[in-house]
Amino acid sequence: MSTHIASVYDEDLKYLTRRISEMGGLAEQMVAESVRALVNSDLALAQKVISDDVILDDAERQIGEKAIITIARRQPMAADLREIMGSIRIAADLERVGDLGKNNAKRVIAVANASLPRQLSRGLEHLAELALVQLKEVLDVYASRSVEKANSIRERDSEIDAIYTSLFRELLTYMMEDPRNITPCTHLLFCAKNIERIGDHATNIAETIYYMATGAQPVGDRPKDDSANTVGALESST
């Protein structure tokens, strides 16, 4: 490969890295703002989150197009091919994170007139904080390519599951205590599930980074909170 071609190829890889970082920053912002809009019944902020999703969708499409063109032109192998394929997978996960933030923002209107108990608001905020910390850390790992840190994030997946399970049960309790709570709490259940899934996407990204760095998949199943099985059964029955 000539010096000029190698330079262009490096620029292509740098472009993918830069766009992934930009997507990650916007996805983080959308999730944080969607939860803030939900807790504060901020309809204007919710609409901003919904509008920002278009930017994230465009970024994923651009990353996919650049990746395909780079593969076709350069025919990369081994680590370089993993780098490009990993970018496609990470972009897809970040796009889904944005979708989940947008979905929560759409529910702001439905719960805007409901008086949310402060305890429930704190529970949602705490769950979101954990998911956002995990997302931020995995984006930092994308920059550093630390296999150890990627595996550490994967090992902590059960923490978010446990908080989600606790919040799920708390919401069910409010629904059983007063039928008037059923509609707003149902919306909050969906919001909590969306936040829990954001943690799953962060874990997906950690596994992709592990593969990009090592060429192997992480060993063993993801750690899961045992009570998540019970919650899953309850979700299926509702």
Residue 141 belongs to domain spanning: 7-229
CA–CA distance from 57 to each of 113, 181, 196 (Å)? Answer: 31, 35, 21
Over the stretch 58-86, which tens digit does the pLDDT of each residue have? 999 999 999 999 999 888 888 889 999 99
Q: State residue 144 phi and psi, 5-degree precision.
A: -90, -25
pLDDT at 195 over 80: yes
Q: Residue 7 corresponds to which amino acid?
A: S
Helices marked H in 41-77: 43-74
pLDDT at position 227 = 54
Cα(60)–Cα(201) distance, rounded to whole angstroms?
15
Over the stretch 113-158, which tens digit does the pLDDT of each residue have? 777 677 788 889 999 999 999 999 999 999 999 999 999 998 888 8
| C-alpha distance across the termini of the chain, in Å | 59
pLDDT at 100 over 80: yes
Task: Tell whether 234 is covered by a domain.
Answer: no
What is the pLDDT averaged over residues 90-94?
98
Write the CB contacts of 83 (distance below 8 Å, at least 6 apart in sequence). Answer: 13, 16, 76, 212
Task: Tell whether 130 is covered by a domain.
Answer: yes
Over the stretch 25-49, which tens digit does the pLDDT of each residue have? 999 999 999 999 998 999 999 999 9
Task: Tell whether 224 is covered by a domain.
Answer: yes
What is the pLDDT averaged over residues 151-170?
92
Token pair of 2, please?
Answer: 């000539």
- 1 in helix, strand or coil? coil
Cα(114)–Cα(153) distance, rounded to whole angstroms?
36
What is the pLDDT averaged over residues 191-209?
96
Looking at residue 28, which CATH number applies to its domain? 1.20.58.220
Task: Tell whether 237 is covered by a domain.
Answer: no
Over the stretch 205-224, which tens digit does the pLDDT of each residue have? 999 999 999 999 887 777 66
Token pair of 71, please?
Answer: 């593969």
Write the CB contacts of 135 (distance below 8 Å, at least 6 apart in sequence). Answer: 24, 27, 28, 31, 97, 198, 199, 201, 202
Number of structural domains found in the chain? 1
Cα(214)–Cα(223) distance, rounded to whole angstroms?
21
pLDDT at position 209 = 96
Question: What angle (nearest 5°) sits at the alpha carbon of residue 127, between those of residues 126 and 130?
Answer: 85
pLDDT at 225 over 80: no
pLDDT at position 192 = 96
pLDDT at position 237 = 47
CB burial of residue 57 (10 Å; 0-12, 13-18, 19+) = middle
pLDDT at position 112 = 80
pLDDT at 234 over 50: no
Q: Look at the block and give the residue holding tokens 């509008």.
A: 51
Beta-carbon-side half-sphere exposure of residue 229 (alpha carbons within 13 Å):
3
Task: Tell whether 2 is covered by a domain.
Answer: no
pLDDT at position 184 = 85
